[in-house]
Amino acid sequence: MRKIFLALLNNKQFLGEINQKLIDFVASIREEIQRINPQIEPIYSLHIPCPIAVDSVILTSNREKQILTSWLNSNENSQSKLVYRASVDRFSEKAFYEACGTNSPTLMIITSNYNKIFGGFTDRSWDGNGYKCSSSSWLFSLDEQEMYPIKPDSTHYAIGCYEGQDGPVFGVGCDLLISFDRSGHHCYSNLGVTYDAQKYANDDEKRKSVLAGNHYFTVEEMEIFTVRF
């Protein structure tokens, strides 16, 4: 029982989900109190983290930012800075690596042609060539409100950098691969190889489409932010 409890404490996705449920629960109580009687002052105190300030054209609600805030384990002093936006800086391999190459940690937010919002976080920079090790990288789907941490035995393949060749990759199985070829045949997701998507282990179609809405997709917009905790 103790081992199970300790495993749960080390599971960032589980803790993030619990934290978000508490935030939602307390927020709903506050709203109900204010609706019934705006004069009543709450007698309880629970810190609800302010959504991290993200200058995004993809994220349109505080709810989306709050979810990301809980996954990032950020605080009121956390800051983000936009370093790349595909619609402004050009959707190209050269533009991406020039803007993002040496920056870390970074948060990647993408919207696909299937109107899905997803992305990933890594504490490693995107410069160089080959795979980089990280135990702190993760992928996410805002539509599913799920975060997919890297598997403990796959940390050596957290991200793949292919400067001068192609776009960024999360995972050796290409759990998420961004290609700058707009044909739509090269961006794809194979979630569950390097990043944990055990929930979809018996549903191959869902596992491959849960991030972008389909196994193959095109990028409608992509933003990269540096994050300072």
- If one counts the domains in the chain, the total is 2
Q: What is the pLDDT of residue 87?
A: 95
Q: What is the pLDDT of residue 125?
A: 97
Same domain, 71 and 141: yes
Same domain, 43 and 55: no
Same domain, 33 and 78: no
For the chain, give the longest Cα–Cα distance: 62
Same domain, 183 and 224: yes
Which among 53, 103, 68, 79 is positioned nearest to 224, based on CA atoms? 103
Which among 15, 220, 226 is positioned nearest to 118, based on CA atoms? 220
> What is the block-wise mean pLDDT of the chain (229 residues), using blocks of 10 residues?
56 63 64 65 52 88 90 81 96 94 96 97 96 98 97 97 89 94 79 97 96 96 94
Range(s) of the domain holding residue 91 = 50-228
Q: Tell me the pairing of strands 79-85 and 219-228.
A: antiparallel
Q: What is the pLDDT of residue 26?
A: 60
Q: Which of 10, 32, 48 is the last residue of a domain?
A: 48
Same domain, 63 and 151: yes
Same domain, 111 and 66: yes
In this prediction the pTM is 0.79
Same domain, 29 and 98: no
Same domain, 134 and 210: yes
Q: What is the pLDDT of residue 43?
A: 47
Same domain, 161 and 224: yes
Same domain, 44 and 116: no
Report d(CA 137, CA 134) in Å as an integer: 6
- Cis peptide preceding 105, ω within 30 of 0: yes
Show the tokens assigned to 176. Answer: 């998420």
**Cβ-based neighbour number of residue 30 at 10 Å:** 14
Q: What is the pLDDT of residue 186?
A: 82
Same domain, 10 and 108: no
Which residues fall within 8 angstroms of residue 10, CB to CB, at 6 or more apart?
A: none
Please give the C-alpha separations between residue 146 and each of 77, 184, 200, 224, in angstroms, as whole numbers. 25, 25, 12, 19
Same domain, 33 and 3: yes
